[in-house]
Amino acid sequence: MTTTPQLLPMAEPTAAACCAPLTREAIAPDQADLLARKLKALADPTRLRLVSIVAASDGEEACVCDLIEPVGLSQPTVSHHLKILMEAGFLTRSKRGTWAYYRLVPGALGELSQLLDVTASR
């Protein structure tokens, strides 16, 4: 029997999800725009890797300096991807000296998984 490994730990869902699961009711145009932006942010292999690296790091936090080598891109390119993930609401940033540290937003991945979970609406 084969099992699919879970690549990204799912955060606990928060009470303020953007909308009901997609199979429960049709979503409003503004909610569809918000969801599409979130999905677009994750629809890039580098950004998916960055989220998973941050999630797997000690304290679910990583310095940008520790994210450059694993994805094999320059610091400005990694910072660009991280900015997109922050704007989509998946990561937060704190500055310490010259380096920026990124952390998962609690519940952000859980909200997204609940929206896409067909079984949650039945």
Averaged over 36-59, what is the pLDDT? 94
Q: Please, what CATH class does the domain formed by 29-121 belong to?
A: mainly alpha
The helix, strand and coil proportions of the chain, stated in percent and rounded to the nearest 5, come to 50, 10, 35
> What span, in angstroms and rounded, lies between the C-alpha atoms of 26 and 88?
22
Residue 114: the pLDDT is 77
Return the higher-pLDDT residue of 89 and 22: 89
pLDDT at 30 over 60: yes
Whether the model clears a pTM of 0.85, i.e. scores above it, the answer is no
Structure tokens at 58: 């000690």
Beta-carbon neighbour count of residue 102 at 10 Å? 26
Domain ranges of the chain: 29-121
Question: Using 50, 70 and 90 to split pLDDT, how confident is the model at 14?
Answer: very low
